[in-house]
Amino acid sequence: MGTKTIGLRDDAYERLKARKREDESFTDLVNRLLDGEQADWREGFGTLDAKAAEELEQAVETSRKQTSAGLAERQQEAIEELSDTEDSDETA
């Protein structure tokens, strides 16, 4: 098996070095990171770009307003129904 020399910017090297364990070589580190990339689907899960996040926020806000309006309407209907029932139920 041969070896290859690759060039890295200092910041990329420092990030790799920070993830490297004491007992592993840089080859072992790269293999672990690449193997983990396929195995760990949760890394980065739940992240949205700014546009998608804004669209989601708008959809949630719209849904909340519709739910709130619907709830207020149902409450008013229930109050009116109870009011009508109480008016017509004068057995006392």
Cβ neighbours around 32 below 10 Å, total: 14
Same domain, 2 and 43: yes
Instruction: Looking at the structure, tell me whether residues 28 and 65 fall in a common domain.
Output: no
**Closest alpha carbon to 34 in 19, 47, 14:** 19
Query: Over its length of 92 residues, how does the chain's per-residue pLDDT go in tens digits?
Result: 789 999 999 999 999 999 999 999 999 999 988 886 555 556 666 777 888 888 989 999 999 888 888 888 888 888 988 888 766 655 55
The total number of structural domains that make up the chain: 2
Same-domain pairing of 42 and 58: no
- Quick one: pLDDT at residue 16? 93
How much is the pTM? 0.38
Same-domain status, 65 and 31: no
Task: Provide the strand spans (E) within the chain.
Answer: none
Domain that holds residue 65: 48-92
C-alpha span between 74 and 45 (Å, rounded): 38
